[in-house]
């Protein structure tokens, strides 16, 4: 028996190469979630301040479903907001206690919607499938998301802007 043949057999490299396929990402929100977002940021909108809300639901890293919103205790100004780490821990505990995940941060800007450097620095609790939403004009267009931008997070790729066809609002009743 040729021992070199056995050695060569087990040292063969596969005749394929690995390729990464970019999967499409989806962000789904229930109508109740959209209504709750409006309720969460309304006080800041009336004051002319940036509003902030966190969305909860589930994600598998490719599809993220938001079922509700939670209003954090925060400090807000006309151009910024701040949420303490103690408050974030409280929110996460509340959300996890209901068997859900913190899956999104939503906040408003005074003018057009975009990810500022401060926005990216402030996103500390992200996971695959996390969505960052920025509303323009302090969110005055809600429940419409006109002018809003949605960014989807993937480890290794950071935040990438979602296309409108990948964002869906699920009605309370389908038929």
Domain extent listing, the chain? 28-170
- CATH 3.40.140.10: does it fit domain 28-170? yes
Rounded to the nearest 5°, which phi and psi values hold at 117?
A: -60, -40
- Quick one: average pLDDT of 54-79? 96
State residue 139's pLDDT score: 95
Over residues 132-172, the pLDDT tens digits come to: 999 999 999 999 999 999 999 988 888 899 999 999 999 98
- Range from 35-44, 58-67, 121-130, 140-149 carrying the lowest mean pLDDT: 121-130
State residue 63's pLDDT score: 96
State residue 75's pLDDT score: 94
Over residues 11-20, the pLDDT tens digits come to: 555 555 555 5
Q: What is the DSSP string of the chain?
A: --HHHHHHHHTPPPSS---------EEEEEHHHHHHHHHHHHHHHHHT---EEEEEEEE-SSEEEEEEEEPPP-EE-SS-EE--HHHHHHHHHHHHHTT-EEEEEEEE-SSS----HHHHHH--S--TT-EEEEESGGGTTTTS-TT-EEEEEETTTEEEEPPGGGEEEE-S---
Sign of CA dihedral 57, 60, 61, 65: negative
State residue 18's pLDDT score: 57
More confident residue, 71 or 10: 71
State residue 144's pLDDT score: 95
Question: What predicted TM-score, i.e. pTM, was given to this entire model?
Answer: 0.82
State residue 23's pLDDT score: 59
State residue 83's pLDDT score: 92
pLDDT band at 127 (very low <50, low <70, confident <90, very high): confident
């Amino acid at each position: 028996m040729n021992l070199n043949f056995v050695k060569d057999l087990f040292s063969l490299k596969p005749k394929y190469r690995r390729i990464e396929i970019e999967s499409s990402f989806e962000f789904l929100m229930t109508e109740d979630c959209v209504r709750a977002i409006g309720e969460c940021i309304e006080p800041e909108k009336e004051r002319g301040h940036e509003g902030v809300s966190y969305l909860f639901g589930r994600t598998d890293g490719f599809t993220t479903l938001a079922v509700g919103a939670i209003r954090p205790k925060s400090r807000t100004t006309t151009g910024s907001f701040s949420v303490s780490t103690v408050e974030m821990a409280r929110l996460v505990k509340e959300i996890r206690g209901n068997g859900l995940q913190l899956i999104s941060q939503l906040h408003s800007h005074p003018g057009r919607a975009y990810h500022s450097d401060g926005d990216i620095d402030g996103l500390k609790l992200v996971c695959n499938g996390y969505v960052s939403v920025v509303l323009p004009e302090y969110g005055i267009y809600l429940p419409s998301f006109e002018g809003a931008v949605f960014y989807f997070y993937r480890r290794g790729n950071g935040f990438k802007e979602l296309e409108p066809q990948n964002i869906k609002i699920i009605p309370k009743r389908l038929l």
